[in-house]
């Protein structure tokens, strides 16, 4: 099994979501383009891909595997977030 590659702000995003009352499961170790986080909030489910907002835009691009996976996804909301604030804003979308 490969080591999970996570962005520097991954744990901050997870902590902020949990503090807001969301349940969070990290999927980063799955790889193959699967989003980093499975989030449950108010009876709804959201997938989040975490990118580090402190990096330049070129370093925040989705990988080829991520582009394929995201493009094939036919489920509920899937978003790319660059930090805790963006992740918390996504919880508002779920209300």
User: How confident is the model at residue 21, as a pLDDT?
Assistant: 96
Tell me, what's the pLDDT at 58? 85
Q: What is the pLDDT of residues 41-54, one digit of tens each?
A: 999 999 999 998 88
Could you confirm whether domain 10-93 is CATH 3.90.25.10?
Answer: no
Q: How far apart are CA 42 and CA 22, in angstroms?
A: 8
Higher confidence at residue 94 or residue 63?
63
**Domain boundaries of the chain, sorted by first residue:** 10-93
What values do phi and psi take at 49, rounded to 5?
Answer: -100, 125
* Other Cβ atoms within 10 Å of 15 Cβ, number: 12
Taking only the tens place, the pLDDT of each residue in 36-86 is: 999 999 999 999 999 988 888 888 899 999 999 999 999 989 999 999 999
């Amino acid at each position: 099994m490969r080591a999970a590659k996570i962005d520097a702000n991954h744990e901050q995003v997870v902590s902020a979501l949990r503090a807001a009352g969301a349940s969070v499961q990290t999927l980063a170790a799955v790889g193959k383009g699967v989003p980093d986080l499975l989030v449950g909030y108010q009876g709804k489910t959201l997938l989040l891909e975490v990118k580090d907002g402190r990096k330049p835009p070129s370093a925040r691009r989705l990988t080829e595997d991520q582009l394929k996976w995201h493009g094939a996804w036919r489920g509920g909301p899937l978003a790319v977030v660059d930090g805790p604030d963006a992740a918390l804003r996504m919880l508002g979308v779920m209300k």
